């Protein structure tokens, strides 16, 4: 039975047609996945359903009746609940206060907040998502996965009939994601309709009943999930055939290993990073796979001096090296891309300035910056890395996610870095852009860079690496051939790790 029907919704922003006459129908008790590249219109559609944006034209029907969703409050009253990609919790407040945000229950004294009643009700919603904890704890004490559960309990506290989930697993480990799926199934059994946005194809195939694919603001098609596979979905998304990074490229020539470019021995940062030994040669890609909490990001940050090591030694290009800050690391020829691309870019600065940010020396004329040299250097990088931008002078925030990440890579190509530490650089970018980043990483390695690529996606680790390190509990627990089966790698990563 159709619960939610969206009829030819359109929305345009100056210069962009975000949605062009999109139709969508979602049944009660269904998990309906929305799939599309960045900029395809998924987020806009979600925002419209959540009431935070109004469509230019088109209508939304619930139970066959046309409704108007002018504001988040109105949408909530109509039975829409949303879990946003960026968590919307107030860390200083307690779990209970967050769950019932702005709907705190009255107590015995009329308009004053009744904390006992509020806590009790919050506890009830938390139980629904299977999260057993003291609701009086501050959200700031919680990890990302726990926060996600609080966020979900918050959305459920309004008893939604349609639950909108925007990339709910981006902060979760596989195990936590599975827990989330169980909760989603429980909800659909109670007749809740779930609209689910994610980039992770594997996950969509596992959880959804139907998939609607959007491309450039238009609906490509809505298909039953059991009739398609991941490759088909990926094709629908990009509109062309694409190789999925599912298996290691068997035909690829093994890289000849050059001189060791990065070598760490006993690298530690108490208490979470313990005794890491690793070596990356020139022209080699070493991938590091670890579940959330395994210490991947911490290793990357320690290598780059963002969180200086407390013990151990580091050799870069054969020379012993003490890295206390990124300045030291860059000086030794290292470059770093973090998992949060927002963290690496200055959004309002131009593409050119972002590219040259770590190489003032190359674009200066005496004490003054040379704008012509800067622009020329930036243009060279934009071309070499095929960054799609209208000009190098536009703010970098106007670029798509994948192209923003390429700008960060271009920065290190520009600075002449020989050792690249890449921490989940494809997180949150779409399949097409991911592939381009992979190609780029391979090319940088072919040109002689030593690449340490850290990821929480097992497929990426297998597909990209010449060697694969598995991390758990803050240390490297295994070094394996990338051809090793996923199950075996996962066992190494999960056997010791506690999620």
Partner 1 sequence: MAETAAKVSPRRLAGLAGGRGGAALILLALVVFFAIASEDFLTTNNLLNILRQYSVPMILAVGQTIVIVSRGIDLSVASCAALSGSVMGVAFAHWGWPEPLALLLGLAAGFAVGAFNGFVITRWHVPDFIATLGTFTAVRGIALLVTDGLPVPDFDKVQEGRGIPESSSTLGSETIGRIPLIAVVALVCVLIGALILNRTRLGRSAYAIGGNPDAARISGIRVERSKMKIYILSGLLAAVAGFLLMGRQGSANALMGDGMELQSIAAVVIGGTNLFGGEGKISGTVIGMLVIGVLSNGLAIMGVAEFWQRVVNGLIIVAVVALDQWRRRAGRQAAA
Q: List interacting residues with partner 1 (CB under 8 A).
A: 13-15, 53, 304, 306, 326-327, 329-331, 336, 338, 342-349, 353, 357-358, 360, 364, 367-369, 397-398, 411, 415
336: helix, coil or strand?
A: strand
Q: Report in angstroms how near the CB of residue 337 gets to partner 1 at its nearest.
A: 9
Cβ closest to partner 1, residue 411 vs residue 467: 411
Cβ closest to partner 1, residue 282 vs residue 423: 423
Cβ closest to partner 1, residue 28 vs residue 306: 306
Q: Report in angstroms how near the CB of residue 37 gets to partner 1 at its nearest.
A: 17
Rounded distance between C-alpha atoms, residue 377 and residue 357, angstroms: 12
Q: Report in angstroms how near the CB of residue 162 gets to partner 1 at its nearest.
A: 22
Cβ closest to partner 1, residue 318 vs residue 347: 347
For residue 196, give every residue at least 6 positions away whose Cβ sits within 8 Å of its Cβ, in sequence order, or none.
31, 32, 33, 34, 165, 168, 184, 204, 207, 208
Cβ closest to partner 1, residue 222 vs residue 364: 364
Q: Tokens at residue 486, please?
A: 């996923």
Q: Report in angstroms how near the CB of residue 498 gets to partner 1 at its nearest.
A: 29
Rounded distance between C-alpha atoms, residue 24 and residue 221, angstroms: 10
CA dihedral 246, 247, 253, 255 (to 10 degrees): 70
Cβ closest to partner 1, residue 118 vs residue 415: 415
Cβ closest to partner 1, residue 3 vs residue 300: 300
Query: What letter does residue 408 receive in the DSSP assignment?
Result: H
For residue 216, give every residue at least 6 positions away whose Cβ sits within 8 Å of its Cβ, in sequence order, or none.
17, 20, 39, 40, 41
Cβ closest to partner 1, residue 53 vs residue 435: 53
Q: Report in angstroms how near the CB of residue 397 gets to partner 1 at its nearest.
A: 7
Q: Report in angstroms how near the CB of residue 171 gets to partner 1 at its nearest.
A: 18
Rounded distance between C-alpha atoms, residue 82 and residue 194, angstroms: 10
Q: Give CA separation, 395 vs 267, 426, 474, in Å.
A: 38, 21, 38
* Pick from 269, 420, 429: nearest CA to 337: 420
Cβ closest to partner 1, residue 294 vs residue 334: 334
Cβ closest to partner 1, residue 398 vs residue 484: 398
Q: Report in angstroms how near the CB of residue 293 gets to partner 1 at its nearest.
A: 22
Q: Report in angstroms how near the CB of residue 499 gets to partner 1 at its nearest.
A: 27
Cβ closest to partner 1, residue 16 vs residue 112: 16
Cβ closest to partner 1, residue 166 vs residue 176: 166
Q: Report in angstroms how near the CB of residue 344 gets to partner 1 at its nearest.
A: 5
Tally of CA atoms within 13 A in the half-sphere of 414 that contains its CB: 31
Q: What is the 3-state secondary structure (H, E, C) of 96-145?
A: HHHHCCCCCCECCCCCCECHHHHHHHHHHHHHHCCCCCCCCCEHHHCCHH
Cβ closest to partner 1, residue 254 vs residue 343: 343
| Strand ordering across the sheet containing 2-13 | 16-27, 2-13, 57-62, 65-67
Q: Report in angstroms how near the CB of residue 369 gets to partner 1 at its nearest.
A: 5
Q: Report in angstroms how near the CB of residue 72 gets to partner 1 at its nearest.
A: 15
Q: Which residues is 269 bridged to in the sheet?
A: 273
Indicate the burial class of 216 (C-beta count within 10 angstroms; 0-12, 13-18, 19 or more). middle
In the numeric block, the tokens 């590091």 are attached to 288
| Strand ordering across the sheet containing 162-166 | 80-83, 162-166, 193-197, 31-35, 210-215, 218-224
Q: Report in angstroms how near the CB of residue 42 gets to partner 1 at its nearest.
A: 13
Within 10 angstroms of residue 131's Cβ, the number of other Cβ atoms is: 21
Q: Which residues is 472 bridged to in the sheet?
A: 475
For residue 30, give every residue at least 6 positions away whose Cβ sits within 8 Å of its Cβ, in sequence order, or none.
188, 193, 194, 209, 210
Rounded distance between C-alpha atoms, residue 44 and residue 64, angstroms: 23
293: helix, coil or strand?
A: coil
Q: Tokens at residue 396, please?
A: 């970098």
Q: Report in angstroms how near the CB of residue 297 gets to partner 1 at its nearest.
A: 13
Rounded distance between C-alpha atoms, residue 386 and residue 471, angstroms: 33
């Amino acid at each position: 039975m159709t619960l939610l029907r969206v009829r030819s919704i359109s929305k345009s922003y100056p210069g962009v047609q975000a949605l062009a006459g999109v139709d969508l129908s979602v049944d009660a008790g269904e998990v309906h996945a929305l799939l599309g590249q960045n900029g395809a219109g998924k987020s806009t559609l979600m925002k419209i359903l959540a009431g935070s944006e109004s469509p230019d034209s088109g209508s939304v029907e619930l139970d066959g009746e046309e409704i108007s969703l002018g504001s988040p409050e109105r949408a909530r009253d109509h039975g829409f609940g949303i879990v946003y990609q960026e968590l919307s919790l107030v860390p200083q407040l307690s779990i209970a206060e967050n769950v019932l945000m702005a709907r705190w229950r009255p107590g015995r004294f009329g308009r004053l907040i009744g904390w006992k009643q509020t806590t009790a009700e919050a506890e009830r919603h938390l139980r629904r998502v299977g999260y057993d904890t003291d609701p009086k704890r501050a959200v700031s004490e919680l990890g990302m996965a726990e926060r996600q559960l609080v966020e979900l309990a918050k959305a459920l506290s309004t008893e939604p009939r349609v639950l909108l989930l925007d990339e709910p697993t981006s902060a979760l480990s596989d195990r936590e994601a599975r827990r989330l799926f169980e909760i989603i199934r429980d909800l659909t059994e109670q007749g809740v309709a779930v609209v689910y946005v994610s980039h992770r194809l594997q996950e969509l195939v596992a959880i959804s009943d139907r998939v609607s694919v959007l491309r450039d603001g238009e609906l490509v098609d809505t298909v039953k999930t059991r009739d398609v596979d991941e490759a088909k979905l990926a094709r629908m998304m990009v509109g062309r055939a694409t190789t999925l990074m599912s298996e290691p490229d068997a035909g690829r020539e093994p890289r000849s290993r050059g001189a060791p470019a990065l070598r760490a021995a006993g690298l530690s940062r108490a208490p979470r990073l313990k005794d890491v030994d690793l070596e990356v040669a020139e022209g080699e890609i070493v991938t590091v796979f670890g579940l959330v909490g395994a210490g991947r990001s911490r290793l990357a940050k320690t290598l780059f001096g963002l969180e200086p090591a407390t013990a151990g030694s580091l050799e870069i290009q054969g020379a012993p090296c003490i890295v206390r800050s990124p300045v030291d690391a860059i000086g030794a020829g290292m470059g770093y891309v973090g998992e949060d691309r927002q963290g690496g870019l200055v959004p309002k600065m131009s593409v050119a300035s972002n590219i040259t940010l770590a190489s003032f020396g190359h674009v200066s004329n005496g004490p003054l910056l040379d704008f012509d040299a800067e622009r020329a250097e930036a243009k060279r990088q934009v071309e070499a890395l095929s960054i799609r931008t209208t000009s190098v002078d536009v703010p970098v925030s106007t670029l798509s996610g994948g192209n923003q990440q390429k700008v960060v890579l271009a920065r290190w190509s520009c600075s002449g870095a020989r050792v690249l530490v890449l921490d989940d650089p494809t997180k949150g970018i779409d399949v097409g852009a991911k592939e381009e980043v992979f190609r780029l990483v391979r090319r940088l390695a072919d040109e002689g860079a030593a690449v340490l690529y850290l990821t929480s996606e097992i497929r990426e680790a297998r597909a990209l690496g010449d060697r694969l390190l598995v991390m758990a509990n803050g240390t490297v627990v295994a070094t394996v051939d990338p051809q090793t089966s996923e199950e075996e790698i996962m066992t190494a990563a999960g056997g010791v790790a506690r999620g």
